[in-house]
Each structure stands twice: as structure tokens, then as C-alpha cells.
């Protein structure tokens, strides 16, 4: 891990600690000690169920993209993608496994990772927008609702552009010409020694996008993603209840949308510190109290610990079976 990455993580943790300090460490730890263990265990199982649904989706995505694999290997790939997303700003690390894959699987993996990101983002933003409209009476800033609407619309337009993707052919040719000009020139030449033919890679991505964004398949994947997002809502609602924060369903959905959107645009890995602070300010409007701090500690622990453990466990299992 680079020094810059360590600095980003350190700054995020400092921001998180400062936020907890402002909320009150003594009150937060007291509320954390009062968290009910049985509901928390049920919430962890719900989180695992949401990941299982997404693994089933990825299994089908891999088959359609031309890289079929056993479910254990798909699970290892899925958790690897999510792990690297958690430790990078904007979750750009989710594309790292695809970028470092073999040349014949690189384009399909990039395509299905982008496809999944778009579906998850559009549905989460869309649900959060409707929930925010239901809570707009003094609870949700109008600017946030407008931003969510524009982001959701941009996601829908992007899906259309990736399905009708002839423009990618021209972009790939332009990129290939630019790459050809850089060959033999210092560091750029070393970067291009992988012999990747950009135009061919773009062509493979076009084929994968046309397959994935075909209307019938898109509807099926949207439905499966909606099931996973609905389970996420149950997970968050259960976590709120275990922390002693009573929220209505619309408030839970709006909370998810705000947290995930802020975490995506935050400059820290996983949005830690930044997304938590914005989320705490929003939640204090709905439910003032120290339970907010304990909720965020448990949320971060469940997300990071279970994703990390699953990543290493499935990777070792897949390595042992090969």
C-alpha cells in the first residue's frame, strides 16, 4: 500500500474520530454497549443474504460476458471487487481486478463491473429520490433532491449510451492512434508493453455491453438488483432498530441514498469520515442523540469486517480447490 493511500486512510479515520468526539465518546460508547446482540446477529445474516443475491447476479453476468466460472470463484471475484472498492475513494478500486486480469478476460470484466455499478447506483439513487420527496418537509435539503434526480437521470442515459454504443468504435480508434504515437517514448512505452490493442479491447467491451444491456436481460438484472437493494433496506432498518434509532421506511431509504452518494464522491477511502459526518448531520435532524455514533461504528465494522473476511475466505477456498 502506497504512502498516499495510507495518508488518505489516516485522514479519514481522524475525521471519523473527530465526528465521534463531537457526538460524545462517553455517550456513544454507552449506546454501543446497549446494542442488542440478537437483533444485531439477525442484521448480519440479512447483510450476508444481500451479498448472496449479488453473487447469484454476478454468476449470471460472468456467464453472459463469456467468462463462466464456479460459484466459489465468482464469490471470490465479487468480494475482491468490493474489498478494493472499500479501500479506495469513489470505489474506483472495484475496477482493479478487471484492469489486472488476463487480456482475454479484461474487457468482459470491465464491462460487467461497470454494468453492475450503474444498476446499483441508478436503483439506489432512484429509491432515495422518492424517499427524499416523501420527507421533503424540512428534513431533506432541496439541493440534495435535485442532485439525486440529475444523477439518476445521468445513469439512465448512460445505460442507453452503452447499449447503443457505436460511438465507442470511434473513441477506440482515436485512443489507438494516440497510443501508437506514444510508443517508443519513455515511460509511456513501458506502460504499453502489455501489447494491449486498445481498439480490440473496446470492441470486446462493446459486444459485452450490447449483451448485458439488451432490454430483456436488463429488466431481469434490474429486478435482481432491486431485490438486493430491498434486502439492504432491511439490513439498514434492522441496524437502526438494534442501535435504538426508530426510523420510518422512507427515512431509512433516504439515509442509504445520502450515505452511499456522499461516500462515492468523498476523497477518503470508502468515504470514511466525510460520509459519516454528513450522514450524522442529516440523521440528527431525524433523531437527535448519541446512538448515531454507535450506529456508524457498527455499520462500518459490519461492512468492512464481513467484506474483508469473505474476500480472504473465498480466495483461499478457491485456491485450495484449483
- DSSP for 10-46 reads HHHHHHHHHHHHHH-HHHHHHHHHT--HHHHHHHHHH
User: pLDDT tens for residues 244-268?
Assistant: 888 888 888 888 888 888 888 888 8
pLDDT at 121 over 70: yes
Q: What is the mean pLDDT of residues 3-14?
A: 71
- Pairwise CA distance, residues 88 & 85, whole Å: 5
| Residue 139's pLDDT band (cuts 50, 70, 90) | low
Does residue 53 have a pLDDT over 90? yes
Please give the pLDDT value at position 164.
Answer: 59
Domain spans of the chain? 50-99+106-321
Cβ-contact 310, 51 below 8 angstroms: yes
User: Taking 80 as the threshold, does the pLDDT of residue 129 lie above it?
Assistant: no
Q: Which residue has the cell 468523498?
A: 266
69: helix, strand or coil: coil
The predicted pLDDT at position 257 comes to: 82
DSSP 71-138: HHHHHHHHHHHHHHHHTSGGGGGGGHHHHTS-HHHHHHHHHHHHHHHHHHHHHHHHHHHHHHHHTTTT
In angstroms, rounded to a whole number, what is the distance separating the alpha carbons of residues 176 and 190?
Answer: 16
Q: What is the mean pLDDT of residues 29-37?
A: 71
pTM: 0.80
160-213 tens-digit pLDDT: 656 555 545 555 555 555 555 555 544 444 444 444 555 566 667 777 777 777
| pLDDT tens readout for residues 276-303 | 888 888 777 777 665 788 888 888 888 8
Average pLDDT, the chain: 76
Q: What percent of the chain has pLDDT over 90?
A: 12
- Compute the distance between CA of residue 270 and CA of residue 8 in angstroms, rounded to an integer: 10
Measure the CA–CA gap between 111 and 212, rounded to whole angstroms: 9
Which among 293, 288, 210, 282 has a CA at the least distance from the CA of 253?
A: 282
Q: How much is the pLDDT for 289?
A: 63
pLDDT of residue 142: 59
Amino acid at each position: 500500500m502506497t504512502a498516499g493511500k495510507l495518508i488518505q486512510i489516516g485522514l479519514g479515520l481522524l475525521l471519523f474520530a473527530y465526528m465521534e468526539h463531537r457526538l460524545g465518546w462517553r455517550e456513544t460508547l454507552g449506546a454501543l454497549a446497549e446494542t442488542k446482540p440478537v437483533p444485531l446477529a439477525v442484521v448480519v445474516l440479512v447483510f450476508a443474504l444481500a451479498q448472496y443475491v449479488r453473487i447469484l447476479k454476478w454468476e449470471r453476468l460472468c456467464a453472459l460476458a463469456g467468462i463462466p466460472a464456479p460459484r466459489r470463484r465468482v464469490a471470490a471475484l465479487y468480494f475482491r471487487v468490493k474489498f478494493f472498492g472499500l479501500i479506495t475513494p469513489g470505489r474506483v478500486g472495484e475496477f482493479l481486478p478487471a484492469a489486472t486480469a488476463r487480456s482475454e478476460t479484461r474487457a468482459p470484466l470491465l464491462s460487467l463491473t461497470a454494468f453492475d455499478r450503474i444498476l446499483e447506483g441508478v436503483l439506489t439513487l432512484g429509491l432515495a429520490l422518492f424517499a427524499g420527496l416523501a420527507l421533503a418537509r424540512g428534513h431533506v435539503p432541496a439541493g440534495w433532491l435535485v442532485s439525486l434526480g440529475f444523477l439518476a437521470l445521468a445513469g439512465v442515459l448512460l445505460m442507453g449510451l452503452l447499449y447503443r454504443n457505436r460511438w465507442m468504435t470511434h473513441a477506440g480508434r482515436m485512443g489507438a492512434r494516440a497510443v501508437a504515437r506514444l510508443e517508443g517514448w519513455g515511460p509511456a512505452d513501458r506502460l504499453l508493453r502489455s501489447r494491449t490493442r486498445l481498439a480490440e479491447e473496446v470492441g470486446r467491451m462493446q459486444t459485452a455491453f450490447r449483451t448485458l444491456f439488451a432490454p430483456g436481460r436488463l429488466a431481469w438484472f434490474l429486478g435482481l438488483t432491486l431485490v438486493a437493494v430491498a434486502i439492504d433496506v432491511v439490513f439498514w432498518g434492522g441496524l437502526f432498530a438494534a442501535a435504538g434509532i426508530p426510523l420510518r421506511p422512507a427515512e431509512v431509504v433516504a439515509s442509504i441514498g445520502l450515505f452511499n452518494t456522499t461516500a462515492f464522491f468523498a476523497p477518503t477511502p470508502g468515504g470514511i469520515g466525510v460520509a459519516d459526518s454528513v450522514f450524522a448531520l442529516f440523521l440528527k435532524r431525524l433523531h437527535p442523540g448519541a446512538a448515531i455514533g454507535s450506529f456508524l461504528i457498527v455499520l462500518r465494522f459490519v461492512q468492512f469486517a464481513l467484506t474483508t473476511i469473505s474476500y480472504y475466505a473465498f480466495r483461499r477456498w478457491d485456491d485450495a480447490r484449483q
